[in-house]
């Protein structure tokens, strides 16, 4: 019931705005009409009644015209809509004058203290001005109606784009977890026969990491400190496999720990470094994680002592793996063109850089 009430209030706002403008607009016209008839100089009762009745008739007739426009106005064709507005304004003008005549003519003796035989002719002569006023009202109303429709279309388009982004992020996040689980389970399987205790420790670490990933699965961004925490656990999983062959160094600016970034981005960079870098070296290697500020950007980089075997990896999305493509797509969805991802050779081996706007 509360939801229905809120919807009803929301829908009533345009009607309240219309009536506020409708009454104030024709009320202003009535005042101008009285001023033109010099009512404020002579204070003739007949002029007051004449202007008030005309104003009320215009309010009633244009309110009915609004209903017609809401249900029948052709907004797809400019020519058809224009002809429709012209004809509807003419008919509404005659209706307004008919309402005016039905009120004034039977009571003209009480209002004017006389009976004018040519009153109908005067009403007909005044019809073009009334039609012009209603035509101007129609033009203003249709303009606002078109603007409102464009705004509604834009709102729907924005909502669709936002829902599409959410759906795409969900799909990309669903790629991360199975990919990570697959690698972790393979590591555990390799250790079960060699060292049961280490395998048990890896299962415990895997459990902690998976609990974390399930908690942030729908989050758009998370704190960098939280990301570092899960990365530390992930590295612990891999260190049990690589043993002394894996060295990890952290170079993190303290102020960046409170910044936010898309979840699992750093974990994917570390995973890529292990899989395509350190994992291919018999002697093992090192990984350095850096987070620093500079030139208006926050840069997060992961450097490993492997080799970049694919040419033009930085510019060729077809040659990079699922993890790298995932990173690029999620950065694009969250930051648009304001973020930058590069993967290139470095003096140490290979470095992956993510630049995020502050």
User: Can you give the pLDDT at residue 252?
Assistant: 92
- At 137 the three-state DSSP class reads helix
Given a cut of 50, whether residue 195 has pLDDT beyond it is yes
Domain-located, residue 177 = no
87 and 54 in contact (C-beta within 8 Å)? no
Domain-located, residue 167 = no
Q: Are both 140 and 239 inside the same structural domain?
A: no
Domain-located, residue 175 = no
Domain-located, residue 118 = yes
Domain span including residue 216? 195-357
For residues 157 and 256, the model is more confident at: 256
CA gap 194, 241 in Å, rounded: 11
Residue with tokens 């492997």: 306
pLDDT in tens, 63-72: 999 999 888 8
User: Can you give the pLDDT at residue 134?
Assistant: 92
Domain boundary among 154, 171, 206: 154
- At 283 the three-state DSSP class reads coil
CA gap 79, 277 in Å, rounded: 66
- Give the CATH number for residue 336: 3.30.565.10
Domain-located, residue 228 = yes
Q: Are both 208 and 331 inside the same structural domain?
A: yes
Q: Are both 331 and 211 inside the same structural domain?
A: yes
Q: Are both 315 and 231 inside the same structural domain?
A: yes
pTM > 0.85: yes or no: no
Q: Are both 150 and 202 inside the same structural domain?
A: no
Ranking 124-128, 209-213, 270-274 by mean pLDDT, the lowest is 209-213
Q: Are both 279 and 148 inside the same structural domain?
A: no
Count of C-beta atoms within a 10 Å radius of residue 342? 13
Domain boundary among 104, 136, 154: 154
CA gap 157, 160 in Å, rounded: 5
User: Can you give the pLDDT at residue 291?
Assistant: 93
- pLDDT band (50, 70, 90) for residue 323: low
How many domains is the chain built from?
Answer: 2
Nearest to 326 by CA among 164, 171, 163: 171
CA gap 16, 210 in Å, rounded: 53
- pLDDT band (50, 70, 90) for residue 240: low
Q: Are both 31 and 111 inside the same structural domain?
A: yes
pLDDT, mean of residues 92-107: 86
Q: Are both 290 and 146 inside the same structural domain?
A: no
Q: Are both 239 and 137 inside the same structural domain?
A: no
User: Can you give the pLDDT at residue 38?
Assistant: 72
Q: Are both 131 and 13 inside the same structural domain?
A: yes
User: Can you give the pLDDT at residue 90?
Assistant: 92
Residue 40 tokens read as 């404020």
Domain-located, residue 185 = no
User: Can you give the pLDDT at residue 227?
Assistant: 86
Contacts of 108 (CB under 8 A, 6+ apart): 114, 115, 116, 119
pLDDT in tens, 103-141: 887 777 777 666 665 566 677 777 888 899 999 999 898
Q: Are both 117 and 230 inside the same structural domain?
A: no
User: Can you give the pLDDT at residue 258?
Assistant: 92
Mean pLDDT of all residues belonging to the chain? 78
For residues 216 and 16, the model is more confident at: 16
Nearest to 261 by CA among 226, 233, 224: 224
Domain-located, residue 324 = yes
């Amino acid at each position: 019931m509360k939801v229905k009430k809120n919807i009803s209030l929301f829908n009533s706002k345009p009607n309240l705005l219309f009536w506020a403008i409708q009454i104030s607009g024709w009320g202003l016209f009535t005042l101008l009409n009285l001023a033109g008839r010099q009512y404020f100089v002579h204070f003739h009762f007949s002029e007051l009644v004449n202007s008030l009745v005309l104003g009320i008739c215009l309010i009633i007739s244009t309110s009915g015209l609004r209903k017609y426009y809401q249900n029948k106005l052709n907004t797809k064709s400019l020519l058809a809509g224009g002809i429709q507005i012209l004809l509807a304004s003419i008919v509404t003008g005659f209706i307004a004058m008919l309402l005016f005549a039905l009120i004034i003519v039977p009571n003209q003796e009480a209002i004017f203290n006389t009976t004018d035989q040519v009153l109908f002719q005067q009403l007909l002569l005044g019809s073009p001005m009334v039609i012009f006023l209603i035509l101007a009202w129609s033009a203003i109303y249709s303009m606002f109606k078109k603007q409102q429709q464009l705004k509604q279309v834009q709102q729907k388009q924005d909502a669709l784009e936002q829902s599409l982004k959410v759906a795409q992020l969900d799909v990309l996040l669903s790629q991360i977890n199975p990919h990570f689980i697959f690698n972790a389970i393979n590591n555990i399987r390799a250790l079960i026969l060699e060292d049961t205790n280490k395998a048990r420790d890896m299962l415990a670490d895997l459990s902690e990491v998976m609990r974390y990933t399930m908690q942030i699965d729908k989050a758009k961004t998370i704190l960098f400190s939280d990301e570092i925490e899960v990365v530390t656990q992930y590295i612990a999983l891999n260190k049990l496999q690589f043993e002394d062959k894996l060295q990890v160094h952290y170079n993190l600016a303290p102020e960046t720990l409170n910044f936010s970034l898309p979840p699992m981005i750093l974990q994917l960079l570390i995973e890529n470094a292990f899989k395509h870098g350190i994992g291919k070296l018999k002697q093992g290697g090192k990984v350095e994680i850096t987070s620093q500020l500079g030139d208006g950007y926050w840069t997060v980089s992961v450097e490993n002592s492997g080799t970049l075997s694919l040419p033009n990896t930085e510019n060729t999305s077809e040659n990079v793996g699922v993890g790298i493509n995932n990173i690029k797509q999620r950065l694009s969805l969250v930051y648009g063109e304001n973020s930058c991802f590069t993967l290139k050779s470095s003096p140490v081996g290979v470095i992956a850089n993510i630049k995020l706007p502050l």
